[in-house]
Amino acid sequence: MTASFEFETGQVLDNRFEIAEEIGAGGSAVIYRARDLTTGANVAVKVLAPDAARNSARASNYRRRFEREVDVVQRLDHENIVHFVAAGTIDESTFYAALEFVEGWTLSAVLERERALSPTEAHSFALQLFGALRGAHGVGVVHRDIKPDNIMVRPGTGYRGLSVLDFGIAGLLEGYRDLDYVSLTRTGEVHGTLAYMAPEQLMGDGLTTQSDIYAAGLVIFECLTGTNPYRGGSLPAIINLQLGPHSVGIPGWLERHPFGDFIVRATAKPLSQRLASASDALDILHRLDASTLDSPHVDPEVSTATTSEVHPPTLPMNRRPGECISCKQINPWGFKFCGACGTPLPQD
């Protein structure tokens, strides 16, 4: 179901948001890039599709999840989490939420281009991702769908930042729920992405922040190795692997380093052996020296930018750092392919 006809370029939503273009559509919502006329900033406007706002039981669940997501994102305030801007109702069937528009690429797109990141940048991403989780968990929010598709990589000079997106299936821990809180997940219903889903989440057990830690651990493992051991097989095979006793297989080059031990603890199957909190994860990460880890997947001469000071190579005077020779898009230094057109970037 799409609703691209709902709003056209130049149309102003709720006397505030000028629609620029449709940038995404799913089963229950359409997302537009728009300009906030009060600030001039770009925003992402998520509009509940008309059919999802009607009064059928399924549409009612869509609407309540949309309202839950708005409630959740309003609670969040962290530099690595997408920021809430506004929400409202245009008429009886048009609900919207405006969020920060994050420039950049999804982490999944970055990994598809680069395969694996340098250990130092993977470490930087881990600090940012677990920092975001500590911020969310601190106000009772469990994301429940941490994966590369829900993480944006923001370009920067010598440093790439992360923003966690899409709290559409997030849950609230007991103690943070309003009196009228109602669980929107029915008994036996599972939400999330199998390749990043913790065993207890897959089994439909109670809500826990440790499920996010498991998923984040798999994301950082993928940043380091370019692979996710639970992706690519049939659904039954993935489920069997996730519920099986075997943990992620750590390659020897990573196993011998404290970063490998961190991955093991973050992705442990039993909750009792898994890192207990994002704060615990950050304590370990702050003590890690990723620069001592030699990755066989990354050429150090063209590895991606890290948190340390980076000096880009000397370029011809007529070309800027990261500039694509085909479309002139400026890409973060270290990208091997243009994020706009896919053209290989000169690695000089």
pLDDT for 133-157, tens place per residue? 999 999 999 999 999 999 999 988 7
Which of 56, 80, 100 terminates a domain? The answer is 100
Residues 274 and 196 grouped into a single domain: yes
Query: Which pLDDT score is estimated for 326?
Result: 60
Q: Which CATH number characterizes residue 254's domain?
A: 1.10.510.10
287 and 174, same domain (yes or no): yes
The stretch 8-22 carries a mean pLDDT of: 93
Q: Are residues 273 and 210 in the same domain?
A: yes
* Amino acid present at 128: Q
110 and 192 belong to one structural domain = yes
The answer to whether residue 304 sits within a structural domain is no
pLDDT at 320: 52
Q: Considering the domain boundaries, does residue 72 fall inside one? A: yes
End residue of a domain, out of 80, 100, 120:
100
* Structure-model confidence comparison of residues 12 and 247, the more confident one: 12
336 within some domain: yes
- Locate tokens 């008309």: which residue? 50
Q: What is the distance between the alpha carbons of residues 255 and 270, in angstroms, rounded to a whole number? A: 20
pLDDT at 249: 87
Q: What is the CATH number of the domain that holds 81?
A: 3.30.200.20
Whether residues 60 and 168 fall in one domain: no
4 within a domain of the structure (yes/no): no
Domains identified in the chain, total number: 3
Give pLDDT, residue 212.
Answer: 98
Catalytic residue IDs: 145
| 140 and 118 co-located in one domain | yes
pLDDT tens-digit series, residues 172-201 = 898 776 544 555 454 445 667 889 999 999
Q: Are residues 241 and 210 in the same domain?
A: yes
Residues 89 and 122 in one domain: no
pLDDT at 311 over 80: no
User: Which residue pairs from 244-253 have beta carbons closer than 8 angstroms and sit at least 24 positions apart in sequence?
Assistant: 245/269, 248/217, 248/218, 248/221, 251/225, 253/293, 253/294, 253/295, 253/296
In whole angstroms, how large is the CA radius of gyration of the chain? 21
- 204 and 116, same structural domain? yes
What are the phi and psi torsion angles at 254 (to 5°)? Answer: -90, -35
Instruction: Show the domain range for 222.
Output: 105-292
* Residue 173 resides in a domain: yes
pLDDT band, residue 331 (cuts 50/70/90):
very low
What's this model's pTM, rounded to 2 decimal places?
A: 0.79
Residue 245, pLDDT score:
82
**308: pLDDT strictly greater than 50:** no
CB atoms within 10 A of CB 218: 25
Please report the pLDDT score of residue 325 as a whole number. 62
Give the range among 46-60, 105-119, 193-207 with minimum mean pLDDT.
46-60
Domain assignment present for residue 51? The answer is yes
Please check whether residue 128 is in contact with residue 287, taking contact to mean a CB–CB distance below 8 angstroms. Answer: no
* Residue 114 backbone phi and psi in degrees, to 5: -105, -10
Q: Give pLDDT tens digits for 242-268.
A: 888 878 889 999 999 999 999 999 999
Q: Are 284 and 140 within one domain?
A: yes
Same domain (yes/no): 111, 258:
yes
CB proximity list for 159: less than 8 A, separation 6 or greater: 124, 305, 306, 307, 310
Residue 107 confidence (pLDDT) above 50 = yes
Residue with the larger pLDDT of the pair 97 and 204: 97
pLDDT (0 to 100) of residue 244 = 84
Give exposure, 115-143, as e/b (b: 16+ Cβ within 10 Å): ebbbbbbbbbbbbbbbbbbbbbbbebbbb
Average pLDDT, the chain: 81
pLDDT for 63 equals: 76
Indicate whether 135 and 183 sit together in one domain.
yes
